[in-house]
Structure 1
Amino acid sequence: MVQHKKLVCIVEDKADLREGMNLMIEMSKEYELGGSYGNAEEALLEIPRIKPQVVLMDINLPGASGIACVNALKNQFPQMLFLMCTAYEDTDKIFDSLKAGASGYILKTEGPQKIVEALDDMLAGGSPMSSSIARKVVASFTKMGKDNALVETLSDREKMVLDQLAKGLIGKEVADVLDI
């Protein structure tokens, strides 16, 4: 039985890193390089034609960001998997990437073997993340839990006011709606 290689595209603006990633994919037994791009605009033109199973995506690209690129492609191809491969560790970029449709988030410093393992994990249904990234995600959910605990200390009336504010009403409008 012939085993087909999984098609991978790479979007990375730094030529030396992109070439290293290309080589990593070409040397693997499980993956085949479908295309390699230095910016989101080129990727947005070519990836829909190639239809890879997986895209390795940098965040900081010239022109449109990798996050915007993932969002656009994920809308067209919901089954396509995206592994963010970046130097960014800040929580906003992590969550923006995941919200855009990334299935995993790994730091470039992890090295080629970890990146290939992350691809394997993602194709097996996982959501691979570098340890430091996973810790930030867990910390964010822990903080959200504490914030939700604060909401639970509010009275029903205070929750109603908050609900109206969340809908975009301002002070006087809230007072009118709630007869305050």
Structure 2
Amino acid sequence: MDNNIKKRIVIFDDDKTRRDSLTMLLNMCSDMECVGAFVSAADAVGNVKATRPDMVLMDIDMPQGDGITGTKQIKEHFPDLLVIMQTVFDDSQNIFEAIKAGANGYLLKRTSPDKLLEQVREAFQGGAPMTGAVAIKVLDFFREEPVPTSYDLTEKEKNILKLLVEGHSYKMIAAKSAISYFTVCNHIKKIYDKLHVNSATEAVSMAIKQRLV
């Protein structure tokens, strides 16, 4: 990310302690800042219009305006805006409803602050952050889907795609694959081309649906 321009992030969470903690965490970063924190998503579109964020950190279970409905509304008006779900829930129904609503990632609230910041930055670079436990549930859900084609992915590309689906960051993929971060980016670009997708979210979705990994 450009160090001279801070990424603008808004938070939707009915827990005041968590709102304050996330606000403080983001504002301590040199490359990000919190530009709004709201107790519900009842007026999610209006809140986004007023704050003009680059990303939304969205809680799911909030009174007077839940996060899944709020995400749907935001995506209808701002389809390119990044929305990362944050919740204590890891049940399948919430996960898939969030994905269907257009969420770009799904993180459990027990994610450590350092890991959270890493995954937020990864999302800004085109990644699709997903807590490992969530990724496993998504994979299990689609385990009976047919595999129409391999899309001519190489073994290396399949391995990298698998790590991406499991929620690993580009940096972690590089470490696990014993290759450079730059090489990971090149492989992922080739994966996008072969799958005819434009983002990590789409790549992960296709990999899951077509059982490519």
TMscore range, shorter length: 0.7 to 0.9
- The structure with the greater share of residues assigned to helix is 1
Aligned to 1:90: 91
Per-residue deviation, 1:47? 1.2
Number of aligned residue pairs? 147
Residue ranges of structure 1 left out of the alignment (5+ in a row):
147-180
Cα 1:111/1:63, change in 2 over 3 Å: same
Per-residue deviation, 1:109? 0.3
Partners in 2 of 1:100 and 1:28 — Cα distance?
A: 29
Partner amino acid, structure 1, of 2:23: N
Q: How does 1:13-24 map to 2 (within 5 A)?
A: 13-24=14-25
Q: RMSD of the TM alignment (CA)?
A: 1.8
Partner amino acid, structure 2, of 1:60: D
Secondary structure of the residue that 1:41 maps to in structure 2?
Answer: coil
TM (norm. structure 2) is: 0.65
2:131 matches 1:130: yes
Cα 1:74/1:16, change in 2 over 3 Å: same
Per-residue deviation, 1:42? 4.3
Work out which of the two has the higher radius of gyration on C-alpha atoms and give 1 or 2: 1
Per-residue deviation, 1:44? 3.3
Deviations 1:56-93 (CA, angstroms, capped at 9, x unpaired) = 00000001210000000111001100000111101111
The farther-off stretch of 90-99 and 40-49 is: 40-49
Partners in 2 of 1:43 and 1:29 — Cα distance?
A: 26
Partners in 1 of 2:146 and 2:117 — Cα distance?
A: 34
Runs ≥4 residues deviating over 2 A: 42-45, 143-146
TM (norm. structure 1) is: 0.77
Aligned-residue sequence identity (percent) comes to 32
Q: How does 1:100-179 map to 2 (within 5 A)?
A: 100-145=101-146
Secondary structure of the residue that 2:36 maps to in structure 1?
Answer: strand
